[in-house]
Chains A and B, each alone.
Chain A
Amino acid sequence: MNTKNSSNLALISIVSLVFFLAAWEIYCRMGFIEPLFMPAPSKILSRAIKMLNNWSLLGHTLASTRRVMVGFIVSSLVAIPFGIFLGSSRFFMAVFDPFISLLRPLPSMSWIPLSLLWLGITETQKYSIVFMGSFVPSLLYIIEATKNIDPLLIRAARNLGASEVDVMREVILPGALPQIIAGLKVMLGIAWTCVISAELVAAREGLGFMIMNGKEYFQTDTVLLGMVMISVTVMITDLVFRKFEKRLLPWTL
């Protein structure tokens, strides 16, 4: 029954998508909207085929994916231990709280001028934009996840003779991990918005560059194709993330 329901829902989603694309195509073909402002899906598809044939679409997608993954993984590697540490220590949380509050509202784009001065026109500069855009929000998710561990469980473990390391490994980490993973999944999407900012300056490849260059030449189909590619790539990485989550946290699924 449940499987049947899922199939029905999937069918409804597919029909909805097909209907939307068909309406869009008809609307454009009937000339209600100028292609410069909104090209038909068939135009976007033909641009995709053209760019797939000369490998440029794959090149742009891989360049952006690499930037997102490097920036995001480095930010996660720093944010996870640091967030758990801050979440379990009220003293250090008080020490770092003003800095986190100051950094939290800064959009990734605001780091562009400083990153250019500090790191120059390099790939590291682009990774740093993704890093700065995803680090503080990840850190906040992890701090919250750590704080949400029932203190009774921590006290019980200590009463049973567990050391601080044991408490961390056996209670805090397994307890906080599902929420951390959920937060990181959200952050991965945000990291993709950062890469667009990163590719605004001194980039010659990547989906952000492809979108901006398409805009310069009024190739709206290229702009929309870049946007579609970002969504598709995020969907694929989300699927990979779910597989990873399933293996890492079998008890939550």
Chain B
Amino acid sequence: MRSRKLYWTSILMALTAMAVLTVAPGTVAAAGKPEKVTVVYGGSSWIGHYPVWVGIEKGLFKKRGLGVLFQSFYASSGRMGSLVAGDLDVACTGSISAIALMAAGNKGFMAFGTPDSYATVEGVIAREKIKRLEDLKGKKLAVPFASSAHVLVLDLLEQIRLDPEKDLTLVNLQVNEMPAAMASGEIDACAAWTPNFNMLLKMPGNHLLADDTQFSLYKKYQLGPGPDLLVVRKEFAEKYPNTSRLFVEGYFEAVDMLINQPKESAEVLVKLTNLSMEDQMAVQKDIKWIRGAEQKALMLQPGQFVKGMQLLAEFLVKHKQIDAAPAVKDWIAADMVP
């Protein structure tokens, strides 16, 4: 009798223990408690980083128990290098750098979304005397090499059959150095992105010659020369799935806020961009934000954005910027796509 009682007690205890062991982690997961409370994010004043800035300023990450450390990088390459070196956890990057890193065979990062679509905040700005792209022949056009603006310029020149090596002089210049170079007359035109793009357009005598809407892949697939890509360090995503998920939630709540409350968002963004409120609102008007609910269609099924990225990789190979096109779909973190 006693042994029977002991038998059933043991069974009950074992079942209870099993239930605790199996249910407990699930309960934590359901509660969504972050395993790591600080996320190190790689950003800059570029539009792709607006959601994180808004999320930090409006407490959208904080309410999920996350602290986000915003680290500024001047170029996407530096940001991506730091990400795969383990210094950053999450970043938004221009896809040229991401594709270049994929082409180098690095598997240390994954992509999980694209926050925006922009076509009118990057382009070629010229001095008054240059009316059409064809007028660039024999002129000096400044562009930061290895950037989305560089890809745009190579494509535009190809469309009008100008040889970048022979027909004009491409000057490798960073966007922040362009206003001074345009003002001094050392260059005749430049390819830049916001916020310098807006500053250059405001300078007397400057006008817009072409923007991303004239990029050949944009005409066919609505894809700019360097669309923004959200990336995560693979090890971080695997080790801290809840933290990653909560970050994505906070990020896309910030995207919703940028869509629904543009003025409130602009008020906090001017601290990041140093633009006037008026200019900040104008920049935001030109951006099409992509909500979390739209991400699956772009990144997974049917994955139109990823297909576009693949075409961009092939474009880079054609223009001898990378050696071989990587299979972009192999770098998509399906679990993290909202």
**Which B residue's beta carbon lies closest to that of A203?**
B172
In the complex, what residues of B have CB within 8 A of residue A202's CB? 142, 171-173, 177
Contact of A36 among B84, B146, B321, B322 (CB under 8 A): B84
CA distance A216 to B321 in the complex (A): 10
Contact of B173 among A34, A201, A219, A220 (CB under 8 A): A201
Q: Does B181 contact A (CB under 8 A)?
A: yes
Scan B44-60; emit 1 where CB is below 8 A from any A CB, else 0.
Answer: 00000000000000000
Pair A218/B80 contact, Cβ less than 8 Å:
yes
Partner-contacting stretch, out of A8-16, A18-26, A94-102, A114-122 = A114-122
Pair A216/B145 contact, Cβ less than 8 Å:
yes
**Which B residue's beta carbon lies closest to that of A47?**
B323
Q: Does A81 contact B (CB under 8 A)?
A: no
CA distance A120 to B321 in the complex (A): 27
In the complex, what residues of B have CB within 8 A of residue A35's CB? 104-105
Q: Does B3 contact A (CB under 8 A)?
A: no
How many A-B residue contacts, CB cutoff 8 Å?
66
Pair A217/B173 contact, Cβ less than 8 Å:
no
Pair B170/A204 contact, Cβ less than 8 Å:
yes
Q: Does A215 contact B (CB under 8 A)?
A: yes
Closest Cβ of chain B to A100, distance in Å, is: 30
Given A36-B105, A121-B171, A213-B145; A218-B187 close (CB under 8 Å): no
Considering only residues 182-231 of chain A, those with a C-beta below 8 Å from chain B are: 201-204, 209, 213, 215-220
Contact of B172 among A117, A204, A217 (CB under 8 A): A204
Pair B180/A117 contact, Cβ less than 8 Å:
yes
Scan B138-179; emit 1 where CB is below 8 A from any A CB, else 0.
Answer: 001010011000000000000000000000001111100100
CA distance A56 to B80 in the complex (A): 27
Q: Does B106 contact A (CB under 8 A)?
A: yes
Q: Does B75 contact A (CB under 8 A)?
A: yes
Pair B100/A218 contact, Cβ less than 8 Å:
yes
Listed in ascending order, the chain A residues whose CB lies under 8 Å from chain B are: 34-36, 116-117, 120-121, 201-204, 209, 213, 215-220
Q: Closest 10 CB pairs between A and B? A: A216-B146, A218-B104, A217-B100, A120-B186, A216-B77, A36-B106, A204-B172, A218-B101, A218-B100, A36-B104
